[in-house]
Amino acid sequence: KQLRGRVNHRPAEAIQSMSGGNDAAMIGLVNDIRSTKSGHWLVELEDTTGTFPCLVMKDREFASLVDELLLDECIAVEGTLSDDAGIMFVDAMYFPDVPRTYSPNTADRHVQAALISDVHVGSQEFEADAWGRFADWLHTEAAE
């Protein structure tokens, strides 16, 4: 949602049917990242209609951002299709941001939380002594 308003994107399936040399944009999940022999980056994006390869040239100012990409991360790219329309040469990359107008919901009083998981109450792995110490600690001044 956050990226849709920033680029005039098309699904992978529609980009695959476009002719070469056209400008294109896509929003998708990073499906694969490979470096080429010449040091460029090939980033494959996936959406609900398919996948499309996007080439990030090593001399682009945003090329270093490819090192930080994670598989299944959502990004948007804008670029130009190759002559055979088989690949997109990336001119810009966008990441979802927290909007500047975002104001998180907050409590009207001081709140603290202790997040726990995998307690295993009732199983052989249950650590009754540790659980008891934790429960006792919750009632101390240090836990406030």
The CATH code of the domain that includes 84 is: 2.40.50.140
In a domain? residue 140: no
In a domain? residue 118: no
Domain range enclosing 53: 12-94
In a domain? residue 100: no
In a domain? residue 131: no
Let me know how long the chain is.
144
Number of folded domains that form the chain: 1
Judge whether 79 and 91 are in contact, CB under 8 Å.
yes
State how far the Cα of 111 lies from the Cα of 108, in Å rounded to an integer. Answer: 9
pTM tops 0.75: no
State how far the Cα of 107 lies from the Cα of 113, in Å rounded to an integer. Answer: 13
**Would you state the structure tokens that stand for residue 109, as one six-digit string?**
């009083």
pLDDT by residue for the chain (144 residues), tens digit each? Answer: 556 666 668 889 999 999 999 999 999 999 999 999 999 999 999 999 999 999 999 999 999 999 999 999 999 999 999 999 999 999 999 988 766 677 888 889 988 888 888 888 889 889 999 999 999 999 998 887
Q: What is the pLDDT of residues 111-123, one digit of tens each?
A: 888 888 888 888 9
In a domain? residue 27: yes
Judge whether 43 and 66 are in contact, CB under 8 Å.
yes
In a domain? residue 102: no
In a domain? residue 47: yes
In a domain? residue 33: yes
